[in-house]
Amino acid sequence: MMKMMDATVERAFHKLESNLEELTKIYRSLLDIVRKEKEILLKADREALDESNKLKEELLFKLRAQDSLRSRYAMELATLIGADVENPRLLELAQKLAGTPAADRLRTQPAALDILIKRIPEINKDNEEYTKSALLTLNGALNNIKEHAFRQENLRRQRPGKTRPTSRRQLRI
């Protein structure tokens, strides 16, 4: 038997549900950006990387704002249905709304968000490791070039027939 929610609880639930959908959308966008970041790194496209970083910053700003709203909406709903107001959990809210379609949606929403939230740092860590590896390789190549140039300069200076002054006395004519 399905319970009916009163209009106030339903409005509070819909605000929370819309917020969770927006959070999911933002996290999906962020996931898409970090997935594309490796491709940008491989191309060594600095402008695209700068743009990607700006987009990530914007999304993180939006996430913070939406998360603040989520907390407020969850507290509001918790107050209306008698759940823990200080630390409202979506699954607890779903339990309090048991027997309603809202309960099912509140049970599935955290799982989708959880998957996205876990995947983003994993990919970001892979990108960071790739970047560090690329930098080590680049630094090694630059050091090899410097050493080669230094050796070439020393060889050029030591060619027979071209003696260079080695003391002050030899510099005076």
What are the structure tokens assigned to 6, written together?
Answer: 């009163």
Query: Is the separation of the CB atoms in 130 and 38 below 8 Å?
Result: yes
Q: What is the mean pLDDT of the chain?
A: 84
Please name which of 8, 15, 14, 9 lies closest in space to residue 66, comparing C-alpha atoms.
Answer: 15
User: What secondary structure letter does DSSP report for 77?
Assistant: H
Please name which of 103, 134, 119, 111 lies closest in space to residue 41, comparing C-alpha atoms.
Answer: 134
Q: Strand, helix or coil at 46?
A: helix
- Determine the Cα–Cα distance for residues 131 and 127; give it in Å rounded to an integer: 6
pLDDT for the residue numbered 158: 75
pLDDT for the residue numbered 32: 93
Go through the domains of the chain in sequence order and give each one's CATH number.
7-123 (1.20.58)
Q: Where are the alpha helices (DSSP H) in 44-100?
A: 46-81, 90-96
Residue 94, pLDDT > 80, answer yes
- Determine the Cα–Cα distance for residues 169 and 91; give it in Å rounded to an integer: 89
- Determine the Cα–Cα distance for residues 173 and 170; give it in Å rounded to an integer: 7
Highest mean pLDDT among 3-7, 29-33, 35-39: 29-33
Share of the chain above pLDDT 90, in %: 33
Classify 172 in phi/psi space as left (phi over 0), alpha (psi -120 to 50) or beta. Answer: beta
Please name which of 14, 22, 19, 1 lies closest in space to residue 80, comparing C-alpha atoms.
Answer: 14
Please name which of 57, 73, 77 lies closest in space to residue 18, comparing C-alpha atoms.
Answer: 73
pLDDT for the residue numbered 76: 93
